[in-house]
């Protein structure tokens, strides 16, 4: 069941979304050559606590992993697609990219967003990967309008990514969001005919999150049971926003 939010609920989600945006801006500043992914984690955890919010990821139980996630951020470097864990020993170096994904719960409502940050100068291919992934998200946001269908959003990401020679991760998808971190519907970054294709209506909120590989689309999970990586070792980029469907068009809740 897809839960549609009232105007008052969307305002609460907006506050959560803006806190997530602030955390990502701060951690982006800290993501420099020589920093560790744990440096980002420590700063993010403090910001979330100081704002009186709860981290969305820390303590989130996933049956496949058999345990709860231990961090407020997912920091996924280079060939890591999603769910990378902050680590004191993971030092960022020139040419790396790091996906920073975080969520919060504030006043009962969730916000969730991700960015991928280049560390120093990166290759032209990597620059293109980041650009195309971000563009695919922006194009998809434009489709989050009343009367469109979910496949309009999914298909827009798929067309732009594949048209630029990159591949889409199929194992991990976006989602609805509200009083739960993960709500209906699932939001793949490709058109999955086996899935429902609901019409978008005001009050729906979608977390759209393209996960794009420079090489082939196949993914696998490391022995830590969390970190998803590209099977061929190619770099992967990830961007995410929460978007509300409104009568006036898409409202991105996770940026000013």
CA distances from 13 to 67, 178, 245, 255 (A): 27, 7, 13, 12
Query: Looking at the predicted structure, is the pLDDT value of residue 256 above 90?
Result: yes
| Residue 129 and residue 214 in contact, taking contact as beta carbons nearer than 8 Å | yes
For the chain, give every domain's residue range.
7-252
Q: Kindly indicate the confidence band of residue 12, based on its pLDDT and cuts at 50, 70 and 90.
A: very high
Q: Kindly indicate the confidence band of residue 16, based on its pLDDT and cuts at 50, 70 and 90.
A: very high
Structure tokens at 109: 């409502």
Task: Count CB neighbours of 212 within 10 A.
Answer: 29
Helix (H) or strand (E) holding 32: none
Helix (H) or strand (E) holding 25: helix 7-30
Mean pLDDT of 215-219: 98
Contacts of 179 (CB under 8 A, 6+ apart): 3, 108, 109, 110
pLDDT of residue 81: 98
pLDDT of residue 51: 98
pLDDT of residue 201: 98
d(CA 208, CA 128): 20
Enumerate the β-bridge partners of residue 217.
none
d(CA 204, CA 58): 25
CA distances from 253 to 18, 110, 256 (A): 7, 11, 8
With 0-12 CB in 10 A as exposed, 13-18 as middle and 19+ as buried, what is 142? middle
Query: Looking at the predicted structure, is the pLDDT value of residue 195 above 90?
Result: no
| Residue 227 and residue 73 in contact, taking contact as beta carbons nearer than 8 Å | no
Architecture of domain 7-252: Alpha-Beta Complex (3.90)
Query: Looking at the predicted structure, is the pLDDT value of residue 136 above 90?
Result: yes
Q: What percent of the chain has pLDDT over 90?
A: 98
pLDDT of residue 186: 97
Region for 130 from its dihedrals, namely left if φ exceeds 0, alpha if ψ lies in -120 to 50, beta otherwise: alpha
Could you report the per-residue pLDDT of 25-49, keeping only the tens digit for each?
Answer: 999 999 999 999 999 999 999 999 9
Q: Kindly indicate the confidence band of residue 180, based on its pLDDT and cuts at 50, 70 and 90.
A: very high
Residue 184 phi/psi, 5° resolution?
-70, 150
pLDDT of residue 223: 97
Contacts of 219 (CB under 8 A, 6+ apart): 81, 169, 170, 171, 172, 228, 229, 230, 231
What crossing angle do the helices spanning 37-50 and 7-30 adopt, rounded to 10°? Answer: 140
């Amino acid at each position: 069941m897809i839960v549609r939010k009232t105007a008052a609920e969307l305002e609460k989600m907006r506050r959560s979304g803006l806190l997530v945006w602030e955390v990502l801006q701060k951690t982006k500043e800290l993501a420099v050559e020589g920093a560790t992914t744990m440096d980002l984690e420590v700063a993010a955890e403090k910001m979330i606590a100081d704002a009186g919010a709860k981290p969305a990821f820390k303590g989130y139980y996933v049956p496949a992993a058999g345990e709860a996630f231990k961090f407020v951020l997912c920091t996924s470097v280079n060939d890591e697609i999603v769910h990378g864990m902050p680590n004191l020993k993971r030092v960022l170096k020139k040419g790396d990219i790091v996906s920073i994904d975080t969520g919060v719960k504030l006043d009962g409502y969730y916000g969730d967003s991700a960015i991928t940050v280049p560390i120093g100068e990166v290759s032209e291919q990597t620059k293109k990967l980041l650009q195309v992934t971000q563009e695919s998200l922006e194009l998809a946001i434009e489709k989050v309008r009343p009367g469109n269908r979910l496949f309009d959003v999914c298909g827009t990401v798929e067309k732009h990514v594949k048209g630029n020679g990159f591949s889409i991760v199929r194992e991990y998808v976006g989602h609805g969001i509200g009083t739960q971190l993960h709500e209906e519907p699932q939001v793949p970054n490709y058109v999955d005919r086996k899935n429902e294709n609901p019409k978008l209506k005001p009050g729906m909120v979608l977390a759209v999150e393209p996960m794009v590989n420079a090489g082939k689309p196949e993914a696998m999970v490391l022995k830590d049971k969390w970190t998803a990586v590209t099977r061929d070792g190619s770099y992967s980029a990830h961007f995410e926003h929460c978007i509300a469907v409104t009568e006036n068009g898409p409202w991105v809740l996770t940026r000013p």
